[in-house]
A and B are shown apart, each in its own frame.
Chain A
């Protein structure tokens, strides 16, 4: 009986937390409307998130792109279809790897930071102090971070895509001996509306996932320093898993609506 009970308890907890997360997310979105707008906070967060994650994203992009190109060019050579390397690279990177890798990297680096910062402000009663001074902490702290993510995650994804495809090109010309023209023609062939749309829709959705979960975890952190630490870990894990699940859902939804555009 024990495992069943455990499962039921877990499910109850999951349902309760999901509901609270949902309500909190609604409040976050509502806080985007109406005065005051914390413009300088928003730009500061854009800088922190964008520039701060750039190195990580570039590194991820280049190693993913080169690794993939290396593996695929060997395999394609067996079939005498090395010329298709660019197509495979474009599709795999733009549709899947670029968004997911960037999303998970930003979740690891930024979600933890957001949760830790807001959580420790909560535990030292700084959030209460804000409210006492007539400031809405969701508007002041959560909204600028959400906007910064919505802008920066797509930008970082594009950077990751470009770097990865360029990394593949380096492998193509130096190791697989495919001409630049062949590679880039194949890449450009796959830059159709459907692929570009899905490649931008995903990071947009991931930005909301990261923003909602990291802020929610920060605002609900409880139990002092230890509690903030736990919330931070959970924030990264939950955001990463949710990104993977959202990735699947977005793919499915976009395919069913934009079938003719690929």
Chain B
């Protein structure tokens, strides 16, 4: 479970999140949508404890992570897998070292055992074993994103997955590949997931429930039917370019 209670956050004197509240039950996936700069990545940073809210509480499972000791925070982070915006792969390390990063750093496993796990993971995220010794720079954007997902998964079997714009900048077929990988994970591993995106079409493929953020405030929290009926002018404005895809989703659901 992930819960935000009246969370406010600012960079210096620039407010980024204002009085934000939402709750995601264990095992569910939620899409957070919003324009660029609305504060989506900041929400994920707060969940990871990379930044602390100025006000309010953040609960992960049953722990309030605001004000816990660094050691507790580290334990909580072990249960969270994060796919950073643009991957944030370690660019001086090979693909294999990236995916095996957690095990290389924290486990006493032998090198060849880690190699075995890394190969398995490459297969799971749909990449060939040949790229294991390549550097991230030598891969396409879509492949990098897969490596980032693999790296997040090979930590300690995360119970929570956070994806920051996993499809941005990818061509449509690659994007839909990534989306089905995310779907497979959510269903197969029963993880609680947050997928951040500003692409509505993607959002509908992943989850039935959405949160829409505008300038750091939550302006919508509900399912697609509610989203279609919402009459808040900011939501209508936000959805305008995507009328067709929403209509399509509705149609598919009737069939």
Which residue numbers of A lie inside 8 Å of B, CB to CB? 121, 124-126, 128-129, 131-135
Contact = CB atoms under 8 A, between A and B. Distances in A.
Given A124-B91, A126-B91, A131 B86 contact: no
B80 interface: yes
A67 B33 CA distance: 67
Contact of B50 (A121, A124, A126, A128): A128
Nearest to A133: B102
Interface residues of B, number: 20
Contacts of A131: 48, 50, 77
A125 B78 CA distance: 18
Nearest to B156: A134
A164 B64 CA distance: 62
Nearest to A124: B88
Contact of B106 (A121, A125, A126, A134): A134
B63 to A, nearest CB: 16
A134 B91 contact: no
B contact face: mostly helix, strand, loop, or mixed: mixed
Contacts of B86: 124-125
Contacts of B84: 125, 128-129, 132
Given A124-B88, A126-B88, A128-B88, A134 B82 contact: no
A125 B88 CA distance: 5
B85 A132 contact: no
Nearest to A120: B91
Nearest to B164: A125
22 contacts: A124-B86, A124-B88, A124-B91, A125-B84, A125-B85, A125-B86, A126-B88, A126-B90, A128-B45, A128-B48, A128-B84, A128-B88, A129-B82, A129-B89, A129-B90, A131-B50, A131-B77, A132-B48, A132-B50, A133-B77, A134-B74, A134-B105
B210 interface: no
B163 interface: no
A228 to B, nearest CB: 13
A129 B147 CA distance: 13
Contacts of A126: 88-91
A124 B84 CA distance: 10
B77 A134 contact: yes
B155 interface: yes
Which 3 interchain pairs have the tightest Cβ spacing? A125-B88, A129-B88, A132-B82
Given A129-B89, A134-B74, 4 more contacts: A124-B86, A128-B45, A128-B48, A133-B102
Listed residue (A121, A125, A133, A135) with the most chain B CB atoms within 10 angstroms of its CB: A133
Given A125-B86, A129-B84, A134 B102 contact: yes
A126 B89 CA distance: 7
B9 interface: no
B4 interface: no
Nearest to A36: B105
A52 B101 CA distance: 28
A135 B50 CA distance: 12
Nearest to B93: A126
Contacts of B74: 134
Nearest to B155: A133
Interface string B131-160: 000000000000000000000000100000
A135 B105 CA distance: 8
A71 to B, nearest CB: 46
Interface string B55-96: 000000000000000000010011010101110111100000
